[in-house]
Copies of this chain bind each other. A is one copy, B any other.
Amino acid sequence: MLLFHEWEGAGVVARYELIADDLREGILSGARPAGSQLPSEAELAGRYGVARGTVRQAVAVLAAEGLVGSRQGARRVVLPSTVPGTMPDAAPSAAPGGTPGAARSQSFAELHSFAQWARAGGHRFGGRVIEQRRRRAGAAEAARLGGGEVLEVLRLRTLEGEPVLVERTVYAAWVAPAVEALPADCESVTQALYDAIGLVFAYGEHLIDAVAAGSQDARLLGVRRGSPLLRQRRTTTTHEGRPVESSDDRYRAGSVAFSIRNSIGANPLARQALDLRSGRGEHMFDS
C-alpha cells in the first residue's frame, strides 16, 4: 500500500502514475489474483486521498495495458495472464534488473530498441555493424524519410551469445552524420543518439510478418536458407513527426516473440492483408 507521505518530494511523477504503479505491483505480485475485483473508484479515491478523476486515470493506464477489465456498472476485474513463460514463475514483483512499475514506460522502448529491451529483461546481448554505406534515397524511401542521401546500416545482434536478429536500417539524411559517428559495436543506438544529439524516437509504425531467410540472413543467423524468420518493419519519427529511420528487422524463429494484450475497447494492433499478386513490390534491401 502506498502511503501519502511517500509522495512528499516525489515531485515530478504524476500521482495517477504512482497509483497505477501501486495497483500494478499488487496485480503482478499476486496480491490481487486474476479474477479478483478491484476496489471501487470511490474507495480507491478515499484510500489514496485523491479525487475520483485521478483514480480513473490510474486504472485507465492498467486497462490500456490489458491488466484489468472494465464494464460500466460492474466492478473492475483483474484479467488472467496466460502468456507462456510468464505463467510458471509468478515472480514476486522483484524482476531482475528492472524497477517494478517501469513496464509501461518501457514498452515502447522495448519494441523499438533491442538493447533497452534486452537489458530490461536481464539478458546478455551484443551487436555489431556488418556493413554501412550512404546512397541516394529511392522513391518510396524519399516519401517515408524525406529525400537526400540516406544511410544504410546492416547490424547483427546477439542474445545470450547467439545471433538472433539481422537489422537493416535506413536513416534519414539529417541523422546520418550522428549515426556514422557511432562506434561499430555500439550497444544501444537509441541511447547513443539521445546522448549525442538529444534525439528521441517518439512514434513508430510497425508491420509484422514472416519471411523465409535469404542467403545473407541465413549466413548471419546461422540457419538454413529458407528457414522461417519473424520480420518487423518499422518507421520511426520524432516528437514533431519528423521521420528518423526505417528498418527491416528479422528474428530467428524461436528466439523472440511479440506479445500484446488487448481489449474490445481500444488497441492499436490490427491485421493487414498483403497483396498476393505483386510479390515483386519494392524491397528495402535486395540482399
Contact = CB atoms under 8 A, between A and B. Distances in A.
B262 A66 contact: no
A231 B84 CA distance: 14
Secondary structure at the A interface, as helix, strand, loop or mixed, is: mixed
Given A228-B227, A241-B79, A256-B271, A263 B205 contact: no
A12 interface: no
Given A77-B241, A85-B274, A109 B229 contact: no
Contact of A203 (B79, B235, B259, B271): B79
A107 B267 contact: yes
A227 B201 contact: no
A34 interface: yes
Instruction: State the copy count for this chain.
Output: 2
Contacts of A256: 209, 271-274
Interface string A241-282: 101001000010111111111111111111111111001011
A273 B270 CA distance: 22
Contacts of A239: 69, 71, 74
Interface string A7-21: 000000000000000
Given A111-B269, A257-B207, A202 B264 contact: yes
11 contacts: A77-B241, A79-B237, A82-B246, A106-B270, A108-B263, A117-B271, A203-B262, A206-B269, A207-B258, A209-B230, A256-B272
Interface of A: 34-35, 61, 64-66, 69, 71, 74, 77-87, 104, 106-111, 117-118, 121, 123, 140, 143-144, 159-160, 162, 200-212, 226-231, 233, 235, 237, 239-241, 243, 246, 251, 253-276, 279, 281-282
